Amino acid sequence: MSSTFHVRGGRPLDGEITVRGAKNLVSKAMVAALLGEGPSVLQSVPDIRDVQIVSELLSIHGVKVERDVAAGTIHMDPSNVERAHVVDIDAHAGSSRIPILFCGPLLHRLGEAIIPDLGGCRIGDRPINYHLDVLRNFGAVVDKRELGIYITAPHGLHGTKIHLEYPSVGATEQVLLTAVRAQGITELTNAAVEPEIEDLIAVLQKMGALISLQTDRTITIEGVESLGGYQHVALPDRIEAASWACAALVTKGSVFVRGAEQKPMATFLNIFRKVGGGLDITEEGIRFFHPGSPLRAIAVETDVHPGLMTDWQQPLVVALTQADGISIVHETVYENRLGFTSALNEMGAHIQVYRECLGGSSCRFGRSNYNHSAVVSGPKPLHAADITVPDLRGGFSYLVAALGAEGESTIRGIDLIDRGYESFREKLTALGAEFWEN
């Protein structure tokens, strides 16, 4: 399939699309299936590349994976988990960050784990030090080798006390997926509490795990001897929903996102309304629309849940280029997630980035050299450009900008968007967008 996309912008997106399960839960719930003695069934699974990658990683470890793409169902039978060949593992090097989460389950099932070099979006250094520290805390021995990381647990995995210096989503998941079958009690403080993590806890509870989440970001896990399979419907993708919401605003359109859920999106909905966007919130989904009147500038900062998600930031910035006045966006989760703004400037936006923490509070990047605050002056009409997708969310944001721009834009590397946005071509067509690929 070609990876160059041409978009003729300037038409409102209008219509309805559906979001299915959240990429950032589905992949982790699939890893959790490895821990069960019996088969698991996950529903509302989107047809995205990350799901394909995790399916392959499970398969090379002996899990029988059967997928009904149209129905969005995955059956995973881990009865015959086995060691994977190093070449098969290495074939997945650079494809995703999910392999690091296989460590705990593989250590429990096989006594060892080999992890390839990781991939994922280039939005900062994205180190794995928290993950490796967590595993060592449980008693694992980590050996970094040329072809990846080799992890063993010569004396088994034991419950422990862990404090995260930052409430990392991935490190919290690492603790959960390791502690549920470790011997004894694990107490995790300063844990991430994103809705996707609560949903993973729900999956693990269905499997027989004992996990309690306190109000102060503390999670206590009592290890159990064995776990069963699960049957679960993944929570909807609130990042995808917000991305389409911003597309509605930028194109002065109206998009009903079937499946979008209010509660996990509450913070985004407040911001959307403050900017001047229109909302109809129903049980079936949420309609996001441009009200016809000018949009308003705002000051926002990204944060861990329940703050404004970093993954909402990029499409929101595109919307703010159309707001009346000066908006400030302070990115506090990733040190390098504003690089995508230079292409928006080529399209006519006026965005300046700064090393300082702008907009009120100071964050852990404040004394570093990272451009992690942006000042967006609007409204600035966008015009077509020839741009290349930088990362998943940045890529979708370029698509949004091109849809709102006058003229014909060329977007290169569009395949990256398939990692996390299900059937986005079909959805664009349903909403009346004009585009073609060659």
The nearer residue to ligand EPU, 22 or 110, going by C-beta atoms, is 22
- Nearest by Cα to 312 from 334, 293, 291: 334
- In the bound complex, what is the minimum distance in angstroms from residue 294's beta carbon to ligand EPU? 30
Query: What mask, x for binding ligand EPU by CB under 6 A, covers residues 301 to 320?
Result: --------xxx---------
Contact assessment for residue 327 and residue 297, using Cβ atoms and an 8 Å cutoff? yes
Q: Name the 3-class secondary structure at 160.
A: coil
207 binds ligand EPU (CB under 6 A): no
Stretch that binds ligand EPU, among 63-71, 126-134, 139-147, 148-156 (CB under 6 A): 126-134
Concerning whether 357 is annotated as a catalytic residue, the answer is no
Residue from the set 63, 81, 169, 376 that interacts with ligand EPU by CB under 6 A? 169
Residue 332 DSSP class: -
What are the start-end ranges of the E strands in 69-164?
A: 73-77, 112-115, 141-145, 148-152, 161-163
Q: Is 369 assigned a ligand-binding role in the annotation? A: no
Residue from the set 130, 312, 340, 370 that interacts with ligand EPU by CB under 6 A? 130
- In the bound complex, what is the minimum distance in angstroms from residue 130's beta carbon to ligand EPU? 3
**What is the footprint of ligand EPU within residues 23-82 (CB under 6 A)?**
23-24
Q: Which two tokens stand for residue 53?
A: 């990658």
Task: Report CA Rg, the chain.
Answer: 22
- In the bound complex, what is the minimum distance in angstroms from residue 102's beta carbon to ligand EPU? 13
Scanning 182-334, the segments in alpha helix (DSSP H) are: 195-207, 238-250, 266-275, 310-320
Q: Which amino acid is at 40?
A: S
CA torsion, ordered 161, 235, 181, 145, to nearest 10 deg = -80
- What's the rounded Cα separation, in Å, for the pair 357 and 363? 7
**What is the footprint of ligand EPU within residues 382-411 (CB under 6 A)?**
392-393
Residue from the set 420, 421, 422, 431 that interacts with ligand EPU by CB under 6 A? 420
- What's the rounded Cα separation, in Å, for the pair 339 and 373? 11
258 binds ligand EPU (CB under 6 A): no
Stretch that binds ligand EPU, among 119-127, 220-228, 265-273, 283-291 (CB under 6 A): 119-127
The nearer residue to ligand EPU, 29 or 182, going by C-beta atoms, is 29
- What's the rounded Cα separation, in Å, for the pair 198 and 202? 6
Q: Which two tokens stand for residue 32?
A: 């959790």
CA angle 333, 421, 275 (to 5 degrees): 55
The nearer residue to ligand EPU, 18 or 190, going by C-beta atoms, is 190
Q: Is 24 assigned a ligand-binding role in the annotation? A: yes
β-bridge pairing 210-213 and 299-301: unpaired
166 binds ligand EPU (CB under 6 A): yes
Contact assessment for residue 354 and residue 376, using Cβ atoms and an 8 Å cutoff? no
- What's the rounded Cα separation, in Å, for the pair 378 and 349? 8
Query: Which H or E element spans position 392?
Result: helix 392-404
- In the bound complex, what is the minimum distance in angstroms from residue 212's beta carbon to ligand EPU? 21
The nearer residue to ligand EPU, 165 or 324, going by C-beta atoms, is 165
Query: What mask, x for binding ligand EPU by CB under 6 A, covers residues 322 to 361?
Result: -----------xx---------------------------
128 binds ligand EPU (CB under 6 A): yes
Q: Is 97 assigned a ligand-binding role in the annotation? A: yes
Its sign, for the CA torsion 49, 172, 313, 267, is positive
Residue from the set 121, 193, 317, 417 that interacts with ligand EPU by CB under 6 A? 121
Binding-site residues for UDP-N-acetyl-alpha-D-glucosamine, in ranges, read 97, 311, 333
Active site residues per annotation = 121
Residues near ligand EPU (CB under 6 A): 23-24, 97, 121, 124-131, 166, 168-171, 192, 239, 309-311, 333-334, 392-393, 420
